Amino acid sequence: MANNGLLIVISGPSGTGKGTICKALSEDKDLWISVSATTREPRAGEIDGVNYYFLSRQEFLEKIENDDFFEYAEVYGNYYGTPKWKALEAIYSGKDVLLEIDIQGALKVKQQYPEGVFIFILPPSMEELKKRITNRGTETEESLMRRFKSAYHEMNYISKYNYAVVNDTVENAVDKIKAILSAEKCRVDRLKEKILDSEEVEIHE
């Protein structure tokens, strides 16, 4: 376990800036970014293994049967899922894996991989969250209120996560997440197997 990388799961309500934070974190070349799988057809310019792993419906169903996804869902007739086999391959090779996913998906991942590092992104305030969603300019008044109510509801899941990070600025949020990951790598339960395996250590109570 001590030689394994971390599975870092980042989620939170819409408008909290999860994507921007993950993009900044992805500049670390030692970080492996989880890519989703789908049965939908590639769009112009999309590359297999970069944007998605494009699978046939039969291939996807076989992987479901083989328990090869952390989580999956069918949306408008197409399947989408988080490949377990790719993430674990990277983790066992010592790489940290970053997964940005919605809250329901994150909870499913936690059931299968509870040793992951689950980080909930928060806005500085609900007023700021409303402002950020409004400033996108893509929402009607009705859809804005729907998103805002959904965000309030999603806040209830924060206790399911290991950490909460307020995204006041992207730079501050990224620094906090990097500090979390450094601390996680120093946890005794992640290190003790390596220490005990590498040396003959006599432990006394």
CATH match for 7-34+96-198 among 3.40.50.300, 3.40.50.150, 3.30.1660.40, 3.40.50.11540 = 3.40.50.300
List the beta bridge partners of residue 163: 119
Predicted TM-score (pTM) of this structure = 0.85
The pLDDT of residue 204 is: 54
Amino acid at residue number 15: G
Quick: pLDDT tens for 51-69: 999 999 999 999 999 999 9
The pLDDT of residue 87 is: 93
Per residue, what are the HEC states of the chain?
CCCCCCEEEEECCCCCCHHHHHHHHCCCCCEEECCCEECCCCCCCCCECCCEEECCHHHHHHHHHCCCEEEEEEECCEEEEEEHHHHHHHHHCCCEEEEECCHHHHHHHHHHCCCCEEEEEECCCHHHHHHHHHHCCCCCHHHHHHHHHHHHHHHHHHHHCCEEEECCCHHHHHHHHHHHHHHHCCCHHHHHHHHHHHCCCCCCC
What does each of the 205 residues of the chain score in pLDDT, given as a tens digit? 558 999 999 999 988 999 999 999 999 878 999 999 999 999 999 999 999 999 999 999 999 999 999 999 998 899 999 999 889 999 999 999 999 999 999 999 999 999 999 999 999 998 888 887 777 666 677 877 888 888 888 999 999 999 999 999 999 999 999 999 999 999 988 777 666 655 555 545 5
Angle at 103 between CA 100 and CA 106, to 5 degrees: 65
